[in-house]
Every structure is written in C-alpha cells, then in structure tokens.
Structure 1
C-alpha cells in the first residue's frame, strides 16, 4: 500500500523546500539501508565490498541534489531571514554549521572509498561507513530543525511580498 506524504505547510515557498526534504529523504533511505546492514553485521567481506561500492555510488548521486538544496537555503532563504534575526548566532548559524558538518562526513566517506576497496578489511569498511551513517543522522535532524524552527519563522517574520518572492526564487529543480 502506498502512503501519501502530506505537506505540513501551506506557504508555497515552504512547500518547495519541504518537497525537496522529502525527495532527499527518499534518496537517503536508499543508501541508509546499506549503512544499517553494516551496523547489523549482515555482510561478509565480499558482500561488504560490493555494498560499499553501491553505497559510494548512491552517495555520489545524492550529492548534487543535496548541494543544490543547501545552496538555495544559503543563498536565498538564510540571507532573507537573517535580515530579521541575524546570522552571527542562533538558528541560521547553527544550520549553516550543520551544512558544513554534513559536507565533512560525506567528504570523509568519499575520501576513504576513493582507492582500491579490495585492500580494505571488513572492519575498515565498517569504520568508513560510519561517516555515511553520521551524515544521515545530521541531515535527518537538520530537516526536522528547519521544518520546526526556520519554516515557522518564514511564516511569522517575512512580509507577504517577501514570502511571494521567496517562492519565485526557490522554485527551481534540485535535480538535473
């Protein structure tokens, strides 16, 4: 049975971002299953190597839509909100820091899976995959923070004309 995910927000600009969160979460679910397999020790060394290659491929495919989404937030949403709430500390600063943390986990994972995977032991592969698991955790919590803290700020802080302009600016695809 297919479940239909309902939008939490009525504001069109927020629906764009919420839809992107849903899409990114869908992509993440695809690779997080592999991470969970490593955590649950379901792979032998050969299966782990194959799973690690698949995980790397899925994360590489995930990077472009994630980057496009975070760039929209950093270049459009956050500057608009920061006019009212500032960006030296508080939610905007925290979310920007999380973007960097996500980049670090993904970058670290990709760096350690660059070479010949045949040289890695099962334990080394499990250790490397922890970065992908951490990225998943940070992204998931990040989306919750945005939707529970930042999105209501958009509704309660921005003028209607700014909300309309925000929609016009955000209404672009994160996939190519």
Structure 2
C-alpha cells in the first residue's frame, strides 16, 4: 500500500505540538524500538563479509535471537495501538480506508516480514550457504524500513491527528488502557 498524496495520510496537514499522556507514552516507545531496529539492520547487513569464513552461521543465529527479542517488544507496542488507539480514532475517521487502514496494513506487513524470517531460519538448511542466509536476512531489512517509515507517519500525522480529534475523556481513557497493556 503506497502512502502518498491523496492516500489518506499525507493529505492531512497536522500541526505538531504537545501530546496527551497516552499519545506521549506511545511516542516514547519509538526511540528504543528504533535503536533495536538499527541493530537489526546492521546485523542483517553483516552477512556480506562472512561468506567464506562460515561466520554467517553464527550471524544468522544471532540475528534470529535479536528478531525474537525485538518482536516481543514490538508486539506490545502494536497491541497498544491496535487494541486501543486505532479503535478510538476509527470512531471519527473510519477504519476501512485512510490513516487507520494504512497503519494496520503496515503493522501486518512488518510482522509478516519478521515472521517469514523466523520461519525461514527454523527450516534453514546450512548447506544452502551464505547467499541463502543473506536472502532471508533481507526480510529483516525490509521490516525495519517499513517500521521506520511507519513510526515517522505516526509521530508526524497520526498522533497529532489523535490529539486533535479525541476528547479529554477519551485521552484519559487512552492513557489508562495503554498503561494496562
């Protein structure tokens, strides 16, 4: 799903400003996730120099551990958005098209890439070699790119939009429900 002018996200000019506590909490979860994503991308790209030495086998297993740890953190963040924020916003802007549909699609795409990587690693035959390992590590790089762009859209469009459309009572409910997850 391409996000460009006229696709429901970029068509909104959102003013940046202070966010309510619930939205701020979601936004504060991004930097640690982004740091992990940087490390994942570095690890995924690290296969290039290890083809002859066999170090790629260890690198693949290490990347698998990193992805499992990251996925656990990402799942909590996604759950807070998918179970709380998105439904609250959908009452005002709908869910079938527009920003919420885009956000949910990007969640699905990133999770699918990470899941595909883990699935491929589980059934990976080391005799396939370093090139095959690099290919499946590419799934991680793609997921990182999707999520990097996704976080930017949340911070610059979705969160400011939520700040504008949610009532004070809904903002309090958002914080309570986000903290409960």
- TM-score, normalised on structure 1? 0.87
1:66 aligns with one of 74, 92, 108: 74
1:23 paired residue number: 32
Shift of 1:69: 1.0
1:145 paired residue number: 153
Structure 2: state its 5+ residue gaps: 1-16
- Note the aligned Cα RMSD (angstroms): 1.6
Cα deviation 1:43-78 (Å, max 9, x = unaligned): 234111111110001101111111111111111000
- Number of aligned residue pairs: 164
- The 5-angstrom pairing of residues 1-176 of structure 1 reads 9-38=18-47, 41-45=48-52, 46-172=54-180
Structure 1: state its 5+ residue gaps: 1-7
Shift of 1:18: 1.1
Compared with structure 1, are the counterparts of its residues 172 and 16 closer, same or farther at alpha carbon in structure 2 (3 Å cutoff)?
A: farther
- TM-score, normalised on structure 2? 0.84
Shift of 1:115: 2.9
Shift of 1:30: 2.2
| CA distance in 2: counterparts of 1:99 and 1:135, whole angstroms | 9
